[in-house]
Amino acid sequence: MEKDFNELNSAQTADEEVKESIITHGNLKSAFAWLSFLAFFSVLNETVFNVSLPDIANQFKIPPSTANWVNTGFIIFFAIGTLIFSKISDTYGVKRLLVTGLLIYSGGSFFGFLAQFSFPSVIVARIIQGIGASAVPGLIMVIVAKYIGSKDRGKAFGLIGSMVALGEGIGPVIGGIIADYIHWSFLFLLPMMTLVSIPFFLKVLPNEITPKGKLDVVGVKSQLSTGIMTFTLPSLFLNRKFMAGVLAGCVLLGTVAGFVSMIPYLMRDVHQLTASMIGGGIIFPGTISVVLFGIVGGTLVDKRGINLVWYLGIILIVTSFLVIALFLDTTPWLMSAALILTFGGLSFVKTVISTTVAEALESNEAGAGMGMLNFACFMAEGVGIAMVGGLLSQRLLDFPLLPTVTLSTAFLFSNMILLLIVFIIIGGVIYTMAYRRS
């Protein structure tokens, strides 16, 4: 017992020394920069392939349902890996796992670039990328919590959050430019830039020793089993408000993700826009507006309450979807304007879901509960993208319905958006029924 206590004290002392070394050696700003750099590239790969999906479908002569697995495969394994890496970080050390993840990320990227002529190989490469990239989000949080002093921690989280939003927003722009002027396969090379961060983290992060000095296979199984059990705690599943919040978040985020994945096909078929125009002119204004709407939404929650922000979010999404469905064949720039409302509403909805789900949890359930929310929503986004791709390929909704839509190439997309409105309303009702105030 005394030995264990001394080891614990030594570990705590080591942690404090690391924090001090970051500050006294002038590495704090560098730490912020490299952490933000990794956060940017971890989310960039979620969106950078989006606008090039029609090009990929054309090259391999495959339907959208198949081409969309370029994104779906990445997102699903990214979600699963995020859960696993964060769970085993205490056992195998942040430095070791982070470097391993970055090497896997870059290895998958290089393999994808070399295997660009085989679609199954492209999917395998995206899965490997997802596994490697998943090391970044959870481990960044651990690094900030353990090795950044408390007075600088809020600043670090805020900066990282901003870079995540920037990565999501600028991904379609970068993807469109590269796909138009070079080739979509070069998108695989972007994550290899993360390799330049490895020397910094090898220098700054401590060498956390695995117990007994060797790989503990039993420990891995134990950690994974513990993680699985944590996310299936009966108390969470019996918590009606928690489960309703998770379900509503999954429905809403999955629906919007599916809608966004449809935009490149819509713009290409109806308006004949290039990938760079779709990414920079159509999608970028909406995705970058998330930063502003996130600030506004958080302020409104604090000042006016959750209900107002929730209903505003649902109204903004439904209104933007309805406008697009009615007039999508008139001008492509209407889509650009409407997407600002879509992403603004999504930002409001995310703020409310995160806040209310957190409030529904006991303090000892917070980590597992919020982890389950993030995991479920990531998975829902992948499912939403796959479902929309399937509906586009089957073309079951390809018939005239709205009198305002006259182009035959627009019928399918207009009717698809009407269907997505139904899912948004269902998600809104699920949440409202569970969280309605007396």
296-340 pLDDT, tens per residue? 887 888 788 888 999 999 999 999 999 999 999 999 999 999 999
Co-location of 317 and 404 in the same domain: yes
Q: In the predicted model, what is the mean pLDDT of residues 269-288? A: 90
Percentage, residues of the chain above pLDDT 90? 47
Question: By mean pLDDT, which of 149-158, 174-183, 226-235, 291-300 is the weakest?
Answer: 226-235
DSSP class of 148: S
pLDDT for residue 29 is more than 50: yes
User: Does residue 270 share a domain with residue 414?
Assistant: yes
Determine the average pLDDT of the residues in 41-62. 89
Among residues 230, 253, 285, which one ends one of the domains? 230
**Is the domain of 225 the same as that of 249?**
no
Q: Ranked by mean pLDDT, which of 44-53, 206-215, 311-320 comes out on top?
A: 311-320
Q: Above 60 in pLDDT, residue 168?
A: yes
Considering the domain architecture, whether residues 163 and 80 belong to the same structural domain is answered as yes
Contacts of residue 394, defined as CB under 8 A and 6 or more positions apart, other chains included, come to 65
pLDDT band at residue 438 using 50, 70 and 90 as cut-offs? very low
Residue 33 has pLDDT above 70, yes or no: yes
Same domain, residue pair 132 and 175: yes
Report the pLDDT value the prediction gives residue 420, as an integer from 0 to 100.
Answer: 97
Q: What is the pLDDT of residue 105?
A: 94
Whether the predicted model's global pTM rises above the 0.95 cut:
no
Please check the confidence at residue 232 and state whether its pLDDT lies above 50: no
Same domain, 21 and 155: yes
- Which tokens sit at 354? 């995160």
| Predicted local distance difference test score (pLDDT) of residue 101 | 94
Residue (of 84, 99, 95, 103) closest to 221 by Cα position: 84
DSSP letters of 208-244? PPPGGGS--HHHHHHHHHHHHHHTT-HHHHT-HHHHH
pLDDT score recorded for residue 371 = 73
Percent of the chain with pLDDT over 70: 84
Task: Reduce the DSSP state of residue 279 to 3 states and report it.
Answer: helix
Between 364 and 126, where is the model more confident? 126
Same domain flag for 243 and 281? yes
Quickly list DSSP for 22-59.
Answer: HHHTT-HHHHHHHHHHHHHHHHHHHHTTGGGHHHHHHH
Confidence of residue 210 (pLDDT cuts 50, 70, 90): low
User: Is pLDDT of 54 > 50?
Assistant: yes
Same-domain pairing of 97 and 184: yes
Residue-level pLDDT at 356: 86
> DSSP class of residue 205?
S
- CA–CA distance, 438 with 435 (Å, rounded to integer): 9
- d(CA 114, CA 112) in angstroms, rounded, equals 5
pLDDT bin (cut points 50, 70, 90) of residue 12 is: very low
Total count of domains within the chain: 2
User: What pLDDT, on the 0 to 100 scale, is given for residue 27?
Assistant: 64
Q: What is the DSSP string of 294-338?
A: HHHHHHHHHHH-HHHHHHHHHHHHHHHHHHHHHHTTT-HHHHHHH
Residues 10 and 132 in one domain: yes
Q: Is the pLDDT of residue 158 over 80?
A: no
Clarify whether residues 262 and 163 are in a common domain.
no
CA distances (Å), 300 to each of 129, 306, 377, in order? 37, 8, 23
The more confident residue out of 118 and 15 is: 118
Distance from C-alpha of 273 to C-alpha of 435, rounded to nearest angstrom: 43
Give the Cα separation of 125 and 116 in Å (integer).
9
What integer is the mean pLDDT of 168-196?
A: 91
CATH of the domain at 217: 1.20.1250.20
- What is residue 367's predicted lDDT score, i.e. its pLDDT? 65
The C-alpha atoms of residue 425 and residue 196 are separated, in whole angstroms, by 45
> Which tops the pLDDT comparison, 368 or 105?
105
Mean pLDDT of 381-398: 93
Using alpha carbons, select from 158, 166, 164 the residue that is nearest to residue 289: 166
Q: 131 falls in which pLDDT band (50, 70, 90)?
A: very high
Q: What average pLDDT does range 356-381 have in this prediction?
A: 80
Q: Is the pLDDT of residue 218 over 60?
A: no
Is the sign of the CA dihedral 331, 404, 393, 424 positive or negative?
Answer: positive
The most confident of the ranges 37-46, 229-238, 362-371, 398-407 is 398-407
The residue out of 230, 258, 288 marking a domain boundary is 230
Last residue of some domain: 209, 230, 251?
230
> Please, which pLDDT band fits residue 369 given cuts at 50, 70 and 90?
confident
**Phi and psi (nearest 5°) for 403?**
-65, -20
Q: Which domain holds residue 7?
A: 1-230
What number is the average pLDDT over the span 178-197? 93
Both 59 and 178 in one domain: the answer is: yes
Q: Are residues 225 and 252 in the same domain?
A: no
Residue 155 pLDDT greater than 80, yes or no: no
Alpha helices, DSSP H, located in 360-410: 366-394
